[in-house]
Amino acid sequence: MAQTNGTTNGHAGFYIPPKDAFIPLIIDGKDIKASSTDRHFRLPDDHDPTTPPPSTFQGTDKDLTLQAVESAQKAFPAWSATPPPQRRALLNALAQKIRENERPIRAMIKEEIHCNDFWTMIQYLGGLSAIEETAAAISSETMNGQIPYSIVPGAYPLVFNEPLGVILGIAPWNAPLILSLRAICAPLATGNTVILKGSEFSPRTHYFVANLVREVGFPPGVCNFLLHRPQDAVETFETIISHPAVKKANFTGSTGVGRAIAQGAAKYLKPVLLELGGKNITIVLDDANIDLAARESLDAATVNNGQVCMSTDTVLVHRSVAESFSAALHNALKATPHPELHVISSKGRQNLDKLLKEAESHGAKITQASPASSSGNLHPATLIENLPSHSIYHTTESFGPLLNIRVVDTEDEIVDLFHESGYGLSGSVFSKNHLRAINLAKRLDSGAIHINAGSVHDEGNFPHGGVGSSGYGRFGGCWGLREFTKTKTVMIYPDQQH
């Protein structure tokens, strides 16, 4: 058993962890910091030296992980019986605390993941949407049961929607406020208890969310919080998913890790909700507004430095407008206010450099918004043209500010290339003929298609998720609530006495 010390109430009141704070776990309402430093962890300082170093945090071990699961298990009976209006009131209190503290929350996110002010605004507004739309749907028709007909005369079958139990929510770093809230809000709203597993790249923001859940009045054990060292990922997941009390996991992240999670959960017949990577494509038809398409495509490729699951990787442009679109895109690139963009790690930058080196080896034309930086994790926004069809870029998620332009001749060719990578999360179609765009969108196997706008957009009342290598299941709105409930039929038979 790990030796720990805990502060019963954690940080009372509203608390933003400073950049030099030690980030603890939260188990059964208590901050947990082990007396041993064996699992204390901080990411290596391989980032831009002008930015602050990442926080040190407490990594979990098997004993602490089991404590978190058992705490959530113990809290489940009372929480699942809590009236929906009370659960809604707590979620609304959570939203109100965030609304009252916009500036320090956004400053923390900017400092931790090195994003710009626009992305922190998206985090703030999207986080509020995730909470408030979920709270609004708690007592909606989505959660109501049904009384279907029965062939038994005088019988009444009652169908109930019930919470599952303990839910594991695994949130990534790239949209740390939105995605941590999304991982826990729907499970909590439907009466489940949760374990939020945060990212080593954003421990401050993820701890902030779990701590705020505690401080607004959610009972101890209803939301536990874990972090782990990268080398302990398999042990932590296996310990959680193998426990009988844990009924489902949700994960947002890479396709490779998502596959491992699905395989690990399948051993125990546990369902998972996976929102994975995307090789998102924008389509520019011959009747498109070219300037609009160019601006939106570049914005969708570079928002949060290209580190969004919905970011545009490739544009398929009709040959008749390819020259004018390329010119408009180059003009937009020259005008970008942030020619160098910060990627999260040296590994991320190395992946981008590898893709570009391979593209250049095939004779592709590379245009960058500024000369590539020789140090740190800065990478310029980059356009790729004349890339041959056998390049690995076409099937590899870049997760950075790269944008490839491919020229096409027919809509059938567009459909084939759209499905080439096996991903299917988001995409865009630009055309002045909305009916034509809708008909094309219906042919594209993707979780979302945006017409005359970039591929990066989501709202708390929308279903969000992908197909194929982009995962399965849906966050958001009534669809997200249903992910964390099970149906039970209770059959009432007529009195058989005569």
The answer to whether 87 and 184 have CB atoms below 8 angstroms apart is: no
The answer to whether 88 and 189 have CB atoms below 8 angstroms apart is: yes
User: Active site includes 413?
Assistant: no
d(CA 166, CA 68): 10
Residues 6 or more apart in contact with residue 278 via CB below 8 angstroms? 309, 310, 311, 313, 397, 423, 424, 425, 426, 466, 470
DSSP string, 80-125: HTS-HHHHHHHHHHHHHHHHHTHHHHHHHHHHHH---HHHHHHHHH
Q: What is the dihedral of CA 418, 420, 424, 427, to 10 degrees?
A: -20
From the list 133, 275, 296, 483, the catalytic residue is 275
Pairing of strands 223-226, 193-197: parallel
Strand, coil or helix: 231: helix
User: Active site includes 478?
Assistant: no
The answer to whether 155 and 492 have CB atoms below 8 angstroms apart is: yes
Residue 195, classified by CB atoms within 10 Å of its CB into exposed (0-12), middle (13-18) or buried (19+), is buried
Secondary structure of the chain: what % helix, strand, coil (to 5)? 40, 20, 40
From the list 133, 309, 385, 483, the catalytic residue is 309
* Residue of 314, 309, 307, 311 whose CA lies nearest to 284: 314
Strand, coil or helix: 410: coil
Place of tokens 């954003």: 202
The answer to whether 396 and 355 have CB atoms below 8 angstroms apart is: yes
Question: Which are the catalytic amino acids?
Answer: 275, 309
